Amino acid sequence: FFLFSFLSLQHMSKNISYLQLTPAEEEEYGHDILYAASFKRNVETYTWYATFGWVFVCIPCILIYGIGIIGLLWTPFIWYIARAGIESRKLFVTSDSIIYIAEPPACIPCLGRNKQEKHVLLSLITDVVVQEGWYQSCWNLDSVKIENAGQGQAGTSYDLAFIGMENSKLFKKVVLRAAAAKRAGQSLSREDISAIISGDSQALSDLASRPAEQSHAQQATSQETDTKLDRLNETMMRIEQLLARQVPAYGPISSEQEQPNLL
- Express each pLDDT in 228-263 by its tens digit: 777 877 888 888 888 887 655 555 555 555 555 544
Average pLDDT over residues 179-200: 83
Query: For residues 126 and 182, what is the distance between their CA atoms, to the nearest angstrom?
Result: 12
Question: Residue 22 to residues 57, 88, 135: CA-CA distances in angstroms?
Answer: 37, 12, 35
23: left (phi over 0), alpha (psi -120 to 50) or beta: alpha
Instruction: Using CB atoms within 10 Å of the CB of residue 34, give its burial: 0 to 12 exposed, 13 to 18 middle, 19+ buried.
Output: buried
**How many angstroms separate the first and last alpha carbons of the chain?**
131
Q: What is the pLDDT of residue 12?
A: 41
Distance CA 115, CA 47 (A): 19
CA 124 vs CA 29, 134, 144, 176, 187: distances in Å? 20, 30, 17, 11, 15
The beta strands (E) that lie in 14-64 are given as 33-37
pLDDT of the residue at 150:
57
Q: How many residues does the chain have?
A: 263
Does an H or E element contain 257, and which? none
C-alpha–C-alpha distance, residues 148 and 93, integer Å: 15
> What single-letter amino acid sits at 257?
Q
pLDDT confidence of residue 228: 76
| Chain segment 42-97, per-residue pLDDT in tens | 999 999 999 999 999 999 988 887 888 989 999 999 999 999 999 999 999 998 89
Which of 33-37, 43-47, 78-82, 157-161 shows the lowest mean pLDDT across its residues? 157-161
The segment with the largest mean pLDDT, out of 6-10, 141-145, 230-234, is 141-145
- Confirm if 54 and 68 have CB atoms less than 8 A apart: no
d(CA 83, CA 60): 24
Instruction: Band the pLDDT of 31: cuts 50, 70, 90.
Output: confident
For the cut 90, the answer to whether the pLDDT of residue 202 exceeds it is no
Domain map (residue ranges) of the chain: 2-199, 200-242
* Integer Cα distance of 175 and 187 in angstroms: 12
pLDDT of residue 41: 92
Is the pLDDT assigned to residue 212 strictly greater than 50?
no
Query: Closest by alpha carbon to 105, among 128, 127, 76?
Result: 76
What confidence tier does 143 reach under pLDDT thresholds 50, 70, 90? Answer: very high
**Dihedral sign, CA of 164, 169, 174, 177?**
positive
